[in-house]
Amino acid sequence: MKLTGAEILIECLKEQGVDTIFGFPGGAVLNIYDALYKAKDSIRHILVSHEQGASHAADGYARATGKVGVCLATSGPGATNLVTGIATAYMDSVPVVAITGQVATSLLGKDSFQEVDITGITMPITKHNYIVKDVNKLADIVRDAFRIAKEGRPGPVLIDICKDVTAAVAEYTPKEPEPVKEIPIKVKEDKIDEAVKVINESQKPIILSGGGVSIAGANEELIKFAEKTKIPVTTTLMGMGSFPGTNDLYMGMIGMHGTKTTNLAVSESDLFIAIGARFSDRVISNVERFAPKAKIMHIDVDPAEIGKNIVVHYPLIGNIKKILEKITEKVDEKEYSEWNKKIDEWKKAYPLKSRTKGELKPSYILERMYELTGGKAVITTEVGQHQIWAAQFYKYSSPRQFLSSGGLGTMGYGLGACIGAQIGLPDKKVINVAGDGSFRMNCNELATAVEYKLPIVVAIFNNRALGMVRQWQNLFYDSRYSATSIDRGTDFVALAKAYGAIGMNVTKPEEVDDALKEALASKDTPVVINFEIDKDEKVFPIVPPGAAIDELIEE
């Protein structure tokens, strides 16, 4: 059948099972929006307040559901406003397809109104990108984009479509989407056997679970492997929920803000098994002094990660799920060992400190949030101290439950991601844990949450400062607080009400439960809770720059 390019795009999105698009219209995408209007019974369009909100919402939708998130923007500034969200998705391996409008093909390269080379700009932060100048190629490009976004190590793909292409007519033939090819194991059987031998012989092994475990859907396989071998488990920030935080083998997070138990265990271990993790600087800190007594085993889908940041002795490349199944089948079943007992002693000796002393403390707020939600809420975060507190004091029992910008560290990410996650999981309670600095960046998306009657909860940990930067200035810059005080007198409760949301202020521990219960009971209105905490509240533990990860500052 003959269709316009815009209609072909919509039909191809339907082919791929797309039910939601986050976007903002403009001149170069008018034809697409006209086709969307006609297809509104099939595809829901969420009109955001700013294009960056669209990219973060698509990202949150993808992380929460495991499906591909889709965002749409016009040319020029509309396209460039997506860039931060695309980079966020790229760093954390999130499948997003970003669709942008472009000036007509006859105007390309002429500094036309709202023309920008968005494919050139996004080349380093996408798995692949396209500029579509021929309507006859559009359908195949859209299909390829979704395949690339999903296959292997997921990531964002951008499709830039010239305006005249959306108006041109071409033949459209429906096509069933190709199944995503299963990732092969790749690693040979003798290497699996070698890994099994090393695991069986190790006396002080530990497992590091990264975000790749959740992406691969290998959570159950990891649990079976850990419980059979009795190996203690830690996670990266991106790996929160990939192994249950309630499991006795769980030691807490690793690295710069990891638990003392975990970081001591790393330094004492003789075998360090990293699964779906990339050994970022926030994990290893001083690379020369990381796991000095251990052999490193690295299981990952992406061969580019093997040996990139640290020497790997036993690389196992391929399908994480299948590799874990094979190893678990062959490895010896172990009893609770002296090593496990030592870990338990450290856990008792060095717990994460949670106190109130009559003051409103982040740890207390998050512990009450955990209890009142039964540990079942999906938590999104902005970036800063509150992000680490959320990782430390809320226990995550399942994958896709903790959504946070890990690699790029994007302030302003959380609210858009919270909106996307709530739309993707309408039956879940979704909470955005925010700092006052991050919340200011994209608080305009409250208008989106109100319009679509989303019962999200925004918990602002308001210390009237850029808390994490201020903490560094205090600890490492002799308390020279340069540009980190933001006590601007903003009334977040009034702001929430101005947008049509519910606003509450909490200053005392005894007010926490009532505020959270009211917020969690909301059915169709966003709730903002302004928790007023002390400006000098700090994240501990913290590993100083250049130190080994077992050299933590605890107080």
One of 7, 11, 51, 221 is an active-site residue; which one?
Answer: 51
Tokens of 409: 């560290």
Calculate mean pLDDT across residues 311-325: 97
Backbone angles phi, psi at 161, to 5 degrees: -120, 120
Measured in whole angstroms, the distance separating CA 546 from the mean position of its chain's CA atoms is: 26
DSSP state of 542: B
Q: Is the pLDDT of residue 415 over 90?
A: yes
Taking only the tens place, the pLDDT of each residue in 92-106 is 999 999 999 999 999
**Hey, what CATH topology would domain 362-532 get?**
Rossmann fold (3.40.50)
Look at residue 413 in the predicted model and tell me its pLDDT.
Answer: 98
Look at residue 285 in the predicted model and tell me its pLDDT.
Answer: 94
Look at residue 53 in the predicted model and tell me its pLDDT.
Answer: 98
Report the CATH superfamily, name and number, of domain 189-349.
TPP-binding domain (3.40.50.1220)
Lowest mean pLDDT among 172-186, 425-439, 525-539: 172-186
One of 38, 113, 220, 341 is an active-site residue; which one?
Answer: 113
Helical pair 320-330 and 189-201, crossing angle rounded to 10 deg: 60
Domains 2-171 and 189-349 share a fold: yes
- Is 531 part of the annotated catalytic residue set? no
Tokens of 481: 């607080």
Percent of the chain with pLDDT over 90: 96
Q: Is the pLDDT of residue 386 over 80?
A: yes
Look at residue 402 in the predicted model and tell me its pLDDT.
Answer: 98
Q: Is the pLDDT of residue 357 over 80?
A: no
pLDDT band at 185 (very low <50, low <70, confident <90, very high): confident
Taking only the tens place, the pLDDT of each residue in 116-154 is 999 999 999 999 999 999 999 999 999 999 999 999 999
Q: Is the pLDDT of residue 375 over 80?
A: yes
Calculate mean pLDDT across residues 203-224: 98
Measured in Å, how far apart are the chain's first and last C-alpha atoms? 69
Q: Distance between CA atoms of 470 and 489, rounded to whole angstroms?
A: 19
Whole-model pTM above 0.95?
Answer: yes
Look at residue 479 in the predicted model and tell me its pLDDT.
Answer: 96
- Is 392 part of the annotated catalytic residue set? no
One of 114, 342, 518, 532 is an active-site residue; which one?
Answer: 114
Q: Distance between CA atoms of 479 and 481, rounded to whole angstroms?
A: 6
Look at residue 356 in the predicted model and tell me its pLDDT.
Answer: 62
- Is 91 part of the annotated catalytic residue set? no
Task: With residue 36 as reference, give the H or E element that holds it.
Answer: helix 30-38
Calculate mean pLDDT across residues 376-404: 98
Calculate mean pLDDT across residues 532-549: 95
One of 238, 253, 369, 468 is an active-site residue; which one?
Answer: 468
- Is 422 part of the annotated catalytic residue set? no
In terms of CATH architecture, what is 2-171? 3-Layer(aba) Sandwich (3.40)
Look at residue 13 in the predicted model and tell me its pLDDT.
Answer: 98
The answer for 108, left when phi > 0, alpha when psi is -120 to 50, beta otherwise, is beta
- Sorted by where each begins, the domain ranges of the chain are 2-171, 189-349, 362-532
Calculate mean pLDDT across residues 381-409: 98
Q: Is the pLDDT of residue 264 over 80?
A: yes
Judge contact between 249 and 339, C-beta under 8 A.
no
Q: Is the pLDDT of residue 55 over 90?
A: yes
Q: Is the pLDDT of residue 16 over 80?
A: yes
- Is 51 part of the annotated catalytic residue set? yes
One of 91, 102, 127, 163 is an active-site residue; which one?
Answer: 163
